[in-house]
Structure 1
Amino acid sequence: MEKFYPVKFAPVPMERIWGGHQLKPWFKEEREAPVGEYWVLSGHPNGTSIVMNGELVGKSLIELCTEYPEVYLGKSPQPRFPLLIKFLEANADLSVQIHPNDEYAQAYENDFGKTEAWYVLDCLEEGKVNYGHNFASKEEYLAAVSEKRVKDYLRFRSIKPGDVVFVPAQTLHALLAGTTVIEVQQTSDVTYRVYDWDRVDPNGSPRELHVGKAADVLIFDNDHQDSTLVEPTLVCKTDVLEHKQLVTCPYFVMESIAIRAQAYTLSPGNHGNPDVLIVAEGSGILQWTDGESISLQRGDTLLIPTTLNEYELKTENGMKVIRTYY
């Protein structure tokens, strides 16, 4: 019988014109070009994670889910690992964009829809994100695009480090300059750009927009947009621990676990499915059966096999972990 264990993945850096350099030391990234995204757990063909520890080193997440589906995949809503985890660094504003739901993406993109959530690691002192719009109708939206007045209709939301922003599919949104987040999302790589701040490339050409498809998936209902606000709920709190549930949606649950010292024992979030742990701050140790352990540093992402009925987080100097599962 093979011995399964928590696997750690090598990040997949993605160069972006809006990317930066602040996260490069986290991921030992040495390229000079700005990096906007680090895909730290992905089974998507556009960027697939590779195991970097233990006997499974060198295997891709796709191979793990194919060879050991009961251990590293469980009951997935997709025929592949259903979550994609990223660290995003916005040194400039991202394009104003929208993602389709599953039905539209499968019909037109041969992919899945994209509901996501951001955990804010850092932002400007008066940080904000674009979240939602004030278009009353499809006709008003198309007129604003043709008249270059899209930004007049954008809604914004204030953010601060430690906040969580839930972004269901069909929500207009954009991260803005100076913002760094952990993103948990459905496994998908479908984005429709609506507006790019009149930005051009070195040749003077604007990036492609996807006006028609965005019009298909936009929801012209402010009540819907306001209903996506989420408030974290407390799971457990002591003098040295705070465990909160940040987001619960049909695609994933997202939690934060802050430990100032000592240890915290966890059971799987959903028995029969794996947990994913993302280290947001600090360092520590993950320990499991028979005293086996692995060191944890900020930026690390681990996939916890379904064979572990419990595991323990330990730290001496403090650590914050984002846990997600489906």
Structure 2
Amino acid sequence: MYQEPIFLEPIFKERIWGGQKLHTEFQYSIPYDKTGEAWVISAHENGPSKITNGPLKGQTLRDAWQNHGELFSQPQKPTEEYPLLVKILDANDDLSVQVHPDDHYASEVANESYGKTECWYVLNAEEDAELIIGHHAQTREELEQLIDRGNWDHLLRRINVQPGDFVYVPSGTIHAIGKGIVILETQQSSDITYRVYDYDRTDAQGNKRKLHLEQAKEVTTVPHETPQLNQTERVKEGFIEKKLVEEAYFSVYHWTLNGSIEQTRTEDFLQVSVIQGEATVIVDEVTYNIEKGDHFIIPATISQFSLQGKAEFIVSYPSK
């Protein structure tokens, strides 16, 4: 039986709005001057993470999902794609204003396995940094008029954020991450985006990025709905577990460790990202050192593990 955490190597993506913080804050060896995304837990075909330890070392998480379903409490040959994708984003400039479709639209219209519901944990934010989340239109007609006129100041809803803030972004929500923000994003495993506005920016060849206004008008939720999250906190000696969201596609938690804790896995598998500090994870009396910037999976074949040290984690798993 597989009794090791599955450690993963990030896949990096160049973005017009990217920067250097994935190197300066996480010590990653980034390949681009404008590195915008690290896909840190990914089985998506556009960037599957590579496994760095154990019997599956050198294979991708996509390989493991397809050929070793027992690690995820799945059939040996799962009929669906790996459900989640975890990223770290460095917004050195404003991201485009965009919206994602739900599962039905993605499947029926875009020929994609999943739509895209996501959530953000703010790791770092410059003073006065802000996000776009939602819009002010009350009817679909008003939404379309404001988009057609480019009346972004009247349309877009902006909020200020600081480190430690959490934002849930259901499909159909117009949104954008603002300049000076670093986030950890947990999302459905989808790479489908409908761009609404991109500040008229051009790439190195002088070309503007493509917009998808008609699709965006179709999939945007009108009027905007602010999700009500039932966040709870569980405190033990040396350990605080805060439930950030528990919704249709995933559950996401923030763990604060200051000492040691024994954990019993009750879900199919756990995705774990170390966002601060250093610690050890112990499985079957074998110790693995972990630190900020590490990402791993506790597979379904591990029922118990322990953590020791002083660190913070974002932990997620797919909803059943």
Q: TM-score range by the shorter chain?
A: over 0.9
Please give the alpha-carbon distance, in whole angstroms, between the structure 2 residues aligned to 1:27 and 1:137.
46
CA drift at 1:73: 5.1
Please give the alpha-carbon distance, in whole angstroms, between the structure 1 residues aligned to 2:31 and 2:10.
14
Change beyond 3 A, Cα 1:229–1:124 = farther
Residue 142, structure 1, aligned to residue 141, structure 2:
no
Q: What residue is the counterpart of 2:21 in the other structure?
A: 22
Secondary structure of 1:24 counterpart: helix
Q: Is the 8 A contact 1:166 1:229 kept in 2?
A: no
Residue 242, structure 1, aligned to residue 240, structure 2:
yes
Change beyond 3 A, Cα 1:231–1:179 = farther
TM-score (norm 2): 0.93
Structure 2 counterparts to residues 175-324 of structure 1, below 5 A: 175-222=177-224, 225-226=225-226, 228-230=227-229, 232-238=231-237, 240-260=238-258, 262-270=259-267, 273-289=268-284, 291-315=285-309, 318-324=310-316
Q: What residue is the counterpart of 1:325 in the other structure?
A: 317
Q: Which amino acid aligns with 2:255?
A: I
Q: What residue is the counterpart of 1:125 in the other structure?
A: 127
Q: Is the 8 A contact 1:99 1:169 kept in 2?
A: yes
Structure 2 counterparts to residues 146-185 of structure 1, below 5 A: 146-185=148-187
Q: Is the 8 A contact 2:271 2:316 kept in 1?
A: yes
Q: Is the 8 A contact 1:275 1:323 kept in 2?
A: yes
Please give the alpha-carbon distance, in whole angstroms, between the structure 1 residues aligned to 2:279 and 2:213.
46
CA drift at 1:109: 1.8
CA drift at 1:205: 2.7
Q: Which amino acid aligns with 2:42?
A: S
TM-score (norm 1): 0.91
Q: Could you tell which deviates more after superposition, 133-142 or 70-79?
A: 70-79
CA drift at 1:59: 0.9
Please give the alpha-carbon distance, in whole angstroms, between the structure 1 residues aligned to 2:205 and 2:154.
27
Q: Is the 8 A contact 1:74 1:306 kept in 2?
A: no
CA drift at 1:22: 1.2
CA drift at 1:305: 1.1
Please give the alpha-carbon distance, in whole angstroms, between the structure 2 residues aligned to 1:229 and 1:180.
24
1:101-157 deviation per Cα after TM superposition (whole angstroms, max 9, x unaligned)? 000001122211111111110112223210100123333233223322123210012
Please give the alpha-carbon distance, in whole angstroms, between the structure 2 residues aligned to 1:320 and 1:20.
24
Secondary structure of 1:48 counterpart: coil
CA drift at 1:3: 3.5
Q: Is the 8 A contact 1:18 1:92 kept in 2?
A: yes
Which blocks of at least 5 consecutive residues in structure 1 are unaligned?
A: none
Q: What residue is the counterpart of 2:7 in the other structure?
A: 8
Q: What residue is the counterpart of 1:33 in the other structure?
A: 33
> Identity across aligned pairs (percent)?
33
Secondary structure of 1:166 counterpart: strand
Aligned residues: 315
Please give the alpha-carbon distance, in whole angstroms, between the structure 2 residues aligned to 1:233 and 1:115.
21
Q: Is the 8 A contact 1:274 1:305 kept in 2?
A: yes
Q: Is the 8 A contact 1:98 1:194 kept in 2?
A: yes
Q: Is the 8 A contact 1:72 1:303 kept in 2?
A: no
